[in-house]
Amino acid sequence: MTVSERIARLRIELQELEPKIWRRIDVPLSMTLEGLHEAIQMTVGWTFSHLWEFEIDGRSYGDPSYRELDDEPVIYKAKGARLGIVIARGADRFVYVYDYGDNWRHDVIVEEVRDGVSILDDRRRWNAKGARNSAAMVTRGQSCSAVEFHPLPA
């Protein structure tokens, strides 16, 4: 089904690398941060095999079940936080961290918010195996469309 909704154009840049490696994706504002994590995994080419979190305005969002010690910082549920709310609260740039050992840090930059059209299918949701096995999931999965890749994949 084709639906017009509010879309965010995001630029995702790996920090500390030259030349810059970045991706640009369009995602609905209704997407959760957990969904955005899945979109970034697919778009950047990661493998859904490490811990991750978003750092937004002094808060961490991820999967709180991985918090092991009581004195560790609080991790808020990414699956309960919507991208649209994050942006509405003024976050136009935040950090996505993947693989705490290698500490791959990505700047997520909100370039534009606009009305747009996404392909939605409420019966499907990204999962690690399905998303990893099909590049087409980038456009069919939770209404994320890859727009640009830099450097271009081989």
Q: What is the mean pLDDT of each run of 10 residues along the chain (154 residues)?
A: 78 90 89 93 87 95 78 86 96 95 94 75 37 35 46 47
Determine the structural domain holding residue 121 and report its residue range. 2-150
Q: How many CB atoms lie within 10 A of CB 134?
A: 12
Neighbouring C-beta atoms of residue 23, cutoff 10 Å: 22
What CATH number is attached to the domain comprising 61? Answer: 3.10.290.30
CA distances from 126 to 19, 94, 132, 139 (A): 30, 23, 9, 11
Predicted local confidence at residue 85, as pLDDT: 97
Q: What pLDDT is stored for residue 127 in this prediction? A: 40
User: How many structural domains is the chain composed of?
Assistant: 1
SS (H, E, C) 35-73: HHHHHHHHHHCCCCCCCEEEEECCEEEECHHHCCCCCCC
